[in-house]
Structure 1
Amino acid sequence: MGCKHDELARGALFAKEIADTVIFHQLALILSAIFMCLAVSISFWLILDHALHYLRPYEQKHIIRILAMIPIYAVISFLSLLFYQASVQLELLRNCYEAYVIASFFTLLCHYIAPTLHEQKDYFRNIQPKRWVFPLKRVKTPRSGLTWFNIIYACVFQFCFTRPLFTIIAAIAQTQDRYCASSTQPENGHIWIALLQGACVLTAMYCLIQFYTQLKEDLVPHKPFLKVLCIKLAMFLCFWQTWFLSLLSVKKGPLQPTFYVAALDIHIGIPCILVCFEMMLFACVSHWAFPWRPYDLDHQLRGPNRLEHYACGPHVALLDALNPWDYAKAAARGFRWLFHGVRHRRDDVSYQVGLDVKVEVEVEKDAKVDVEPASSTYESCTSALSDPELSRRMRGRHGGGKKSRHTIG
């Protein structure tokens, strides 16, 4: 079954006029081109600054990957607007990069805590996990900080696998004319793929927010709030605004094609303009969220940890950021823990330490209970002797008369 909604729009697309000589598609292209050029120029400037000052590769590699989201999203959105017929394939590629942005940001936060995975494990063994944030506050929190870290790790990197998988499925469905991006009918694949992708991205973003909530005090020197805000807004707007417009433009919905705006202008054109505009804003904000100045050798504090030279040149730095091998290893490690490591998690030393502490606490409680009767007896005797009436009677029974006779005599 074809996508009839798109077929009806294709024939009338270039005939809908806003003025005598300017159609909506041309106006959208002009605006998107301006926003795209600004976004690409501003973001490339910052990316080049990080590549020229490649001082800490384990951090800046992920910063460059995050910043690359801006030109990728802007250029692909413009191309989708320029070539409506190829927009589905282009947007699938654009959305595929979203998974690597989330994974890069999570890895960047981990490297702020400790530079290597081994040191990160040692760090998380010694933390006490906080309660899950809303809406999972009633879900039991793992006793081991390392188990908590592995759960977050697996849930974030699952998106690096599921997002490309859904992209391949959507591309196959599109070739069979069963995807239909402008339809929410259950017989088409778009609605089901969108729901599954939404569940996966929500899982990854929720774990990312939980990770930030746990470590926000330790991450204060790196000013993570603006970084989290940029990533969260970019992911939220790009996905949900397209989904929201699709719901509004369904049959008998409030947003319908008119004499001036065709159906594909609503489903593809408007979201692409919004994405290009938003990427321009994020490119400006990223200069404060991901500054390059802290990695300048001239701004390094003197001391034993001061670095004397950059790790490599800009070309090698960009190639290092483009290498996706660490993503593949991280995703494989996450799935390995889900299917194998989770069954052996209690063998870790963090559980043994927690058990020893629990036993010591219980022994202290038992000792306290054994001591309580003697202390309570002493307190009751003291309070009884302090009662004047009871004290007078006790003296009368035990030697009170002898004392009186001795005094009289």
Structure 2
Amino acid sequence: DPHLIAWFSAGAFVLLGFPISMCGIFMHLTNYYQPNVQCYVVRILWMVPIYSIESWLCLRFHTAAIYIETLRDVYESYVLYSFLQFLIAVLGGEEALVLMLKDKSPTRGVHMWGMNWFIKPWLMGQPWTSPFFVKCKLGVLQYVLLKVVSSIIVMFLEIYGLYKEGDFTPRGGYLYICIITNLSQCWALYCLAFFYYATKNELGPIRPVGKFLSVKAVVFFTWWQSLGISILFQMGMIPHYAAVDDGREWTAEAVAKGLQDYLICIEMFVAAIVHTFVFPHTDY
């Protein structure tokens, strides 16, 4: 049975990645010397066990996958928020960060080429705050909030048969959710990159590039991967699976969802290994 083969092989990657992540979490908790920073690291590291187990469950119980995926998407937004808070904590907290940004050159608030045509430079500091910091933070938080709300909306649309995942026609909610999420995600990614550009010298001691890439790869790449699989489904390149499992046939849509979950199980094993290098407890 191809379904069981996929489920067991995905489970093997979960069993390999889970202890690696749990070991990293355990090492941080037993070497909890900077709790104000490490608490966010632990929350980020939990991403791998939660993602992998939920994806594995989605692969097995594919008829209930949409509800399990909702929980995964909510934690995804929480990880992004935790990563922003991690950077703020590394920089000494919000008050210290605002004071530091006030001393930055105003050119740090000038947007990249193209964006500067329609967005004015963000002020690095004012008497009581930093507009630059506030806008970067709101840029990330808007995606966090949108992801939670959209996940709940998707769940209800699916219940009433109105979501139509993989269908890019205006008949279902998938097209609209996809467009809104993409725009929100791109803006959040830009705000994170802009924040890093302004604080890269201060973040240098924690080797931030690997941390940025590891979090962005999981949060953003998995979304684009699901979009790519949906496009393949829409083009008819993903076949249905004729065998019956639990009394229900695996449609092409279910196969597309299963492929995404299977790939995430593999990718989380890779992410677990990467996290041991980019979020080591020895940094603290």
2:142 corresponds to which residue? Answer: 158
Question: What is the aligned counterpart of 2:99 among 94, 109, 122?
Answer: 122
SS in 1 for 2:178: helix
**Does the Cα contact within 8 Å between 2:55 and 2:261 map onto a contact in 1?**
yes
**Does the Cα contact within 8 Å between 2:109 and 2:124 map onto a contact in 1?**
no
CA-CA distance at 1:96 after TM superposition: 1.5
* Distance of 1:135 and 1:51 partners within structure 2: 44
CA-CA distance at 1:133 after TM superposition: 3.1
**Does the Cα contact within 8 Å between 2:210 and 2:278 map onto a contact in 1?**
yes
* Distance of 2:11 and 2:208 partners within structure 1: 31
* Distance of 2:283 and 2:187 partners within structure 1: 32
SS in 2 for 1:186: coil
CA-CA distance at 1:105 after TM superposition: 1.1
Question: What is the aligned counterpart of 1:109 among 87, 95, 98?
Answer: 87
**Does the Cα contact within 8 Å between 1:245 and 1:266 map onto a contact in 2?**
no
SS in 2 for 1:216: helix
Matches within 5 A, 1:8-407: 23-114=1-92, 116-128=93-105, 129-133=108-112, 135-138=114-117, 139-145=119-125, 146-250=130-234, 252-257=235-240, 262-295=251-284
**Closer, same or farther: CA 134–26 of 1 in aligned 2, 3 Å:** farther
Moved more, 168-177 or 56-65: 168-177
List per-residue Cα deviations over 1:313-359 (Å, max 9, x = no partner).
Answer: xxxxxxxxxxxxxxxxxxxxxxxxxxxxxxxxxxxxxxxxxxxxxxx
CA-CA distance at 1:194 after TM superposition: 2.0
**Does the Cα contact within 8 Å between 2:109 and 2:122 map onto a contact in 1?**
no
User: Number of residues paired by the alignment?
Assistant: 271
Provide the aligned C-alpha RMSD in A. 1.8
Gaps of 5+ in 1: 1-22, 296-409
Tell me which amino acid in the other structure corresponds to 1:136: M
Larger Rg: 1
CA-CA distance at 1:236 after TM superposition: 2.5
CA-CA distance at 1:157 after TM superposition: 1.4
* Distance of 1:227 and 1:144 partners within structure 2: 24
TM-score, normalised to structure 2's length?
A: 0.89
CA-CA distance at 1:140 after TM superposition: 2.0
List per-residue Cα deviations over 1:59-116 (Å, max 9, x = no partner).
Answer: 10110111111111101100000001011111121111111111111111112111x3
Tell me which amino acid in the other structure corresponds to 2:95: H
* Distance of 1:113 and 1:233 partners within structure 2: 23
SS in 2 for 1:143: coil
**Does the Cα contact within 8 Å between 1:70 and 1:283 map onto a contact in 2?**
yes
CA-CA distance at 1:259 after TM superposition: 6.3
TM-score, normalised to structure 1's length?
A: 0.63
**Does the Cα contact within 8 Å between 2:77 and 2:147 map onto a contact in 1?**
yes
List per-residue Cα deviations over 1:270-299 (Å, max 9, x = no partner).
Answer: 11111011110010010110000133xxxx
* Distance of 2:6 and 2:114 partners within structure 1: 40
SS in 2 for 1:194: helix
2:246 corresponds to which residue? Answer: none
SS in 1 for 2:115: coil
* Distance of 1:135 and 1:243 partners within structure 2: 26
SS in 2 for 1:218: helix
* Distance of 2:242 and 2:66 partners within structure 1: 24
Q: Percent identity over the alignment?
A: 27
List per-residue Cα deviations over 1:367-390 (Å, max 9, x = no partner).
Answer: xxxxxxxxxxxxxxxxxxxxxxxx
* Distance of 1:269 and 1:92 partners within structure 2: 15
Gaps of 5+ in 2: 244-249
